[in-house]
Structure 1
Amino acid sequence: MSIVKRAVGRLVHRGWAYMREAAAISPGSTGGYRFRSLGEGACIAFPVGAIFGEAWIEIGAHTLVGERVSISAGMGPGVDLGPASIVRIGRGCSIGRGSHIVGHQSIDIGDDVFTGPYVYITDQNHVYDDPDTPIGRQWPRNKPVVIGSGSWLGTGAIILPGTRIGRQSVVAGGAVVRGEFPDHSVIAGVPAKVVRTHSPELGWHNPSGLRLSGPLTAPRPPAESLTWTDRLS
């Protein structure tokens, strides 16, 4: 490799690193003022995904939203969605790159929730009640979603409308989740079920006798203790 090519490469990498830092959305940046709330130390990494309806989105302090994460409130930009917020992400969370959070009625993500990349969370479903009308033209239904504090959502997990996940729970990668799940649940499968739970008497145990197919990712440390590079990995 020539000296010139190496020098150009260094300049490109330094420029890209500077652009990532300068273009990230933070409470003090121009883009940050569009949100209903963007807490101290929060950051939406560059490149930014599709984000609209910021006036109905709250993001807590020290939460990192990874690269190319899409967060939306409502059907599209410029729609008045009323006085209340719709998407609420707590403090100290880490949302993995390429994830989508699509809110129309209410999505509550608690504090210290971590997700792997490409997680999909929505409170709206298309319906197929009328067999003669294209499904995409039928009016969808909304149902609130709640994800309890301290939970971990594995890569590619899908959280569907009406889901309520308790505190300190684990959702396995690729799970398709609908329904209500208690605190301290390990949720896996398609459709997802509780495969492990915790009680003071038994500790972590399998309530159904089913065997897990593989190890689960260990919980990550608090967001405040991680570097941005760690939290994006």
Structure 2
Amino acid sequence: MIDPSAQLPADLELPAFTVVDAEVRIELGCRLGPFCHLHRGARLGAGVELGSHVVIGEGAILEDGVRLGSHTVVHPRTRVGSGSLVGDHAILGKLPTTASTSTLKPTGELPPLKMGPGCTVGALAVIYAGTILAEEVFVADLASIRERCRLERRVIVGRGATVENDVTIGESTKLQAEVYITALSTLEAHIFVAPAVVTTNDNYLARTEERFQHRKGCVLRSGCRIGGGAVLLPGVEIGEEAVVGAGSVVTRAVPTMKVAYGTPARVVRPTPPEQLLSAQKKS
């Protein structure tokens, strides 16, 4: 079913059961799989490719060369940057929902998700509204990125990793598989976070009203590295080029360019000079 107000190129072949609503605009060279639904005002740039059963929400924009896997859902007003690749069953621009007993309350209307050019989003990944991905961000299969986050250029979010709401992540930072970044955290540039690292923001473990005055995410400064399975307690700061050993429980700040490990983690030595970022750039 094609609305007569839709603007389609003459050479476009629409497969069976395609629905194109009013004011949709599709540029040259696009290919659509069967059972796609393009809602009112959606825009497809030149050379966009959609798998089967794709839903494009009202006013969403797919820039030139975007490719979406089958069963992808793009929520209203989401913008996907040119040349981006999105895997099957991904959800882009989802609005948050909360349980009736949740302490996380709605904060008003969220702006749409914006993805820069050259991003990759894996199969079954979910990225919420209000978030911004800069160019060439890589989000692996099954990852989740909540609302009001900002990921800078070339950030990598590994398979099954979770980035909660109101998190900023700096350029070229890498989160490995199953990492959990708690809400209200700040990660600067060129950080490495190994698999299954957990960060926390509530020392009161969801008890007492006082906890709301002290809830605070972690701060990871540029170039620091966190070993696999480490746990960072609320408000902990890891200094520039510092290293946290695998399996550590970090209860206090780790100074710049120091190595700390253990339960609780304690500083044991300086970061080896050959491991500093400045040394890598020279080699």
* Residue of structure 2 equivalent to 1:172: 245
CA distance in 2, matches of 1:94, 1:65: 6
| Contact 2:182–2:217 (Cα < 8 Å) also in 1 | no
Which letter does structure 2 place at the counterpart of 1:176? V
CA distance in 2, matches of 1:34, 1:69: 18
CA distance in 1, matches of 2:258, 2:127: 35
Q: Does residue 109 of structure 2 align to residue 109 of structure 1? A: no
* Residue of structure 1 equivalent to 2:204: 126
Unaligned runs of 5+ in 1: 1-17, 74-85, 128-135, 205-217, 222-233
Which letter does structure 2 place at the counterpart of 1:138? T
* Residue of structure 1 equivalent to 2:129: 34
Instruction: Output one character per residue of 1:143-178: Cα deviation in whole Å (capped at 9) or x when no partner.
Output: 342111111111001111121111011110001112
- Deviation of 1:195 after TM superposition, in Å, equals 0.8
Kindly indicate which of the two structures has a greater share of residues assigned to helix. Answer: 1
Which letter does structure 2 place at the counterpart of 1:87? V
Q: Percentage identity across aligned positions? A: 27
Which letter does structure 1 place at the counterpart of 2:262? G
* Residue of structure 2 equivalent to 1:22: 87
Instruction: Output one character per residue of 1:119-142: Cα deviation in whole Å (capped at 9) or x when no partner.
Output: 011222225xxxxxxxx4434341
CA distance in 2, matches of 1:181, 1:92: 22
* Residue of structure 2 equivalent to 1:132: none
Instruction: Output one character per residue of 1:2-47: Cα deviation in whole Å (capped at 9) or x when no partner.
Output: xxxxxxxxxxxxxxxx789624676468966724321110021112
- Deviation of 1:194 after TM superposition, in Å, equals 0.6
- Deviation of 1:87 after TM superposition, in Å, equals 0.9
**CA distance change for structure 1 residues 32 and 143 in 2, over 3 Å: closer, same or farther?**
closer
| Contact 2:120–2:136 (Cα < 8 Å) also in 1 | no
| Contact 2:131–2:150 (Cα < 8 Å) also in 1 | yes
CA distance in 1, matches of 2:173, 2:267: 23
| Contact 1:152–1:219 (Cα < 8 Å) also in 2 | no
Question: Aligned ranges for residues 67-106 of structure 1 at < 5 Å?
Answer: 67-73=159-165, 86-103=166-183, 106=184
SS in 1 for 2:87: helix
Q: Does residue 198 of structure 2 align to residue 138 of structure 1? A: no
| Contact 2:243–2:258 (Cα < 8 Å) also in 1 | yes
TM-score normalized by the length of structure 2? 0.50
Question: Aligned ranges for residues 40-79 of structure 1 at < 5 Å?
Answer: 40-49=135-144, 51-52=145-146, 54=147, 56-73=148-165
Unaligned runs of 5+ in 2: 1-68, 71-84, 93-114, 279-283
Instruction: Output one character per residue of 1:186-227: Cα deviation in whole Å (capped at 9) or x when no partner.
Output: 0100001111125xxxx76xxxxxxxxxxxxx7899xxxxxx
Structure number with higher relative contact order (C-alpha < 8 Å, ≥ 6 residues apart): 1
CA distance in 2, matches of 1:179, 1:66: 26
| Contact 1:107–1:122 (Cα < 8 Å) also in 2 | no
